Amino acid sequence: MEVFWYIIIATVLAIFFILDGYDFGAGIIHLFFAKTEKDKVVIAKSAGLFWDSNEVWLVAGGGLLFMAFPIFYASVFSGFYLPLIIVLWLIVFRAIGLEFRGQFDFQMWKDIWDKAFGVSSLLLALFFGIALGNVVRGVNLGSTSNGVSLHEGHYFFLPLWDSSFSPLSDTPGVIDWFTLIIGVITVVALAIHGANWVILKTESSINTKLKSVIFNLNITLTALTILSLVVWLKINPEAMDNFYDKPYFGIFPLIYFIGVGGLFFVKKFKKDVYPFILSTLVILGGITATLASIFPVILPSTNDINESLTIYNTATSDYGLSVAVYWGIIGFTLLIFYFIIQKRLLGGKIDHMDYGH
Per-residue pLDDT tens digits of the chain, which is 357 residues long: 788 889 888 999 999 999 989 999 999 999 998 888 888 888 888 887 888 788 888 888 888 888 889 888 888 888 888 888 999 999 998 888 888 877 787 878 888 888 898 999 999 999 999 998 998 888 888 777 777 766 676 778 888 888 888 888 877 888 999 999 999 999 999 999 999 999 998 888 888 899 999 999 999 999 999 999 999 888 888 888 888 889 899 999 999 999 999 999 988 888 889 999 999 999 999 999 999 988 888 888 887 788 888 888 888 888 888 888 888 888 888 888 888 887 787 777 777 777 655
Please give the pLDDT value at position 227: 94
- Residue 290: name the closest of 166, 137, 153, 149 by CA: 137
Per the DSSP assignment, residues forming a β-bridge with 299 are 309
Please give the pLDDT value at position 149: 67
Residue 97 within a domain: yes
Q: What is the DSSP-derived secondary structure letter of residue 171?
A: S
Q: How far is CA 274 from the centre of its chain?
A: 21
Residue 270 within a domain: no
Alpha carbon distance 269, 295 (integer Å): 36
Residue 148 within a domain: yes
- Residue 126: name the closest of 191, 50, 32, 193 by CA: 191
Please give the pLDDT value at position 356: 53
Alpha carbon distance 210, 198 (integer Å): 9
Contact 243, 253 (CB under 8 A): yes
Residue 68 within a domain: yes
Alpha carbon distance 276, 281 (integer Å): 9
Please give the pLDDT value at position 314: 86
Report whether the peptide linkage leading into residue 247 is cis, meaning its omega lies within 30 degrees of zero: no
Alpha carbon distance 227, 17 (integer Å): 23
Residue 278 within a domain: no
Please give the pLDDT value at position 150: 65
Q: How far is CA 51 from the centre of its chain?
A: 14
The model carries a pTM of 0.90
Q: What are phi and psi of 309, to 5 degrees?
A: -80, 130
Residue 94: C-alpha distances to residues 82, 125, 156 (Å)? 19, 12, 29
Please give the pLDDT value at position 66: 86
Residue 104: C-alpha distances to residues 27, 34, 250 (Å)? 20, 19, 52
Buried b / exposed e over 245-259, threshold 16 CB at 10 Å, is eeeebeebbebbeeb
Q: How many domains does the chain have?
A: 1
- Residue 294: name the closest of 75, 80, 179, 138 by CA: 138
Residue 333 within a domain: yes
Residue 187 within a domain: yes
Residue 100 within a domain: yes
Q: What are phi and psi of 268, to 5 degrees?
A: -95, -15
Domain that holds residue 113: 2-196+297-345
Contact 6, 311 (CB under 8 A): yes
